[in-house]
Structure 1
Amino acid sequence: MRVITVGKKRSRGVQLIVDEYKDKLQHYCAIDDVLIRSNPKNARDIKAQIEEEDFAVINLIKSNDWVVVLDEHGQDVGSERLAELIGDAGLTGASRMIFCIGGPYGHGKQLRKRANVSLKLSSLVLNHQIALIVLMEQLYRAWTILKGQKYHH
């Protein structure tokens, strides 16, 4: 699994929580997370910024990856359904699952088109750091569900 986040440098506290969940997830799957700096070319125009971020994310995705974009307009799923999606993705022959958290203005057209599924983490709009923490926790919860284990151990 890979988590790609577009945004500013993470606070130390957020990074500690992300690292804690990465350690927990290592028992189930290899996972890495990539932070792409938002507005990498300092575009003055929002559309140009979104396109640059989109390009940077697309370049990290291989043709046989199974891609999930996290978006406020995506499907609203519970933890059990997320576990099913992860299990189903494993049956597609994909080399890895990629979860994408967009920058301040969301995802670009190329990534939306490339995505296999679009999910929302919350009805609330979350900044990328909070979305990352929620995603990491839900990925861990999903794997414990898939393996029939208790979440708190």
Structure 2
Amino acid sequence: MQIVILAVGKLKERYWREAFAEYAKRLSGYVNLSVVEVADEPAPDHVSPMEIGYILKTEAHRLERHLKPRDGIVILDRQGRQYASEDWSQQFTRLEAEAFGRLVFIIGGSYGLDESIQKQASLKWSFGPLTLPHQLARIVLAEQIYRGIRIARGEPYHK
């Protein structure tokens, strides 16, 4: 299966890149993983709702350039559904069975994702009510994809 992590922003610090690289290496035995990063839109300290709308639209256009018609889209969103590891594994297996061309996981920027991206989602997934920095969210996402695959295959890891 081809999996794409499409993220607003970059992993700048070495420790984030190293943590992600570890899970990317683990995943390489199961899926074809690629990462696409798009620039986040700079924002002033005090942002009006109109400016937030502009930022979201601008980032959405950058993300949409990397989407294909047959993609299965999973967005990370605080308002999404939360899953225990075993339940996530079942959801992942269900998404694999949908025969999407690719499974694309989208991580938004500081203000989330524009409605135009949210409407395209096959699944909205939440890691809980807390807000994670996008760098940490990417690490948690890679780990959870790996964990879900291992659980689905009955391989040890999740305990």
Q: TM-score, normalised by structure 1?
A: 0.92
Partner of 2:35: 33
What is the percent sequence identity of the aligned residues? 30
- Residue 122 of structure 1 deviates from its aligned partner by 2.1
**Aligned residue-pair number:** 150
Q: Any conservation in 1 of the 2:23–2:142 contact (CA below 8 Å)?
A: yes
| Separation of aligned partners in 2, 1:87 and 1:127 | 27
Match of 2:82 among 62, 65, 76: 76
5+ residue gaps in structure 1?
none
- Residue 10 of structure 1 deviates from its aligned partner by 2.3
Answer yes or no: is 1:6 the counterpart of 2:8. Answer: yes
CA RMSD of aligned residues (A): 1.5
Partner of 2:102: 96
Structure 1 segments of 4+ aligned residues over 3 angstroms from their partners? none
Secondary structure, counterpart of 2:69 in structure 1:
coil
5+ residue gaps in structure 2?
45-50
| Separation of aligned partners in 2, 1:54 and 1:84 | 29
Cα 1:9–1:134 change in 2 (3 A) is closer
- Residue 49 of structure 1 deviates from its aligned partner by 1.0
Match of 1:129 among 131, 135, 144: 135
Cα 1:47–1:34 change in 2 (3 A) is same
Q: Any conservation in 2 of the 1:4–1:99 contact (CA below 8 Å)?
A: yes
Q: Mean Cα displacement is larger for which, 50-59 or 3-12? A: 3-12
What one-letter code is carried by the residue in structure 2 that aligns with 1:104?
A: S
| Separation of aligned partners in 1, 2:27 and 2:6 | 16
Q: Any conservation in 2 of the 1:5–1:35 contact (CA below 8 Å)?
A: yes
Partner of 1:149: 155
Partner of 1:52: 58
Q: Any conservation in 2 of the 1:71–1:120 contact (CA below 8 Å)?
A: yes
| Separation of aligned partners in 2, 1:10 and 1:116 | 29
Q: Any conservation in 2 of the 1:7–1:104 contact (CA below 8 Å)?
A: no
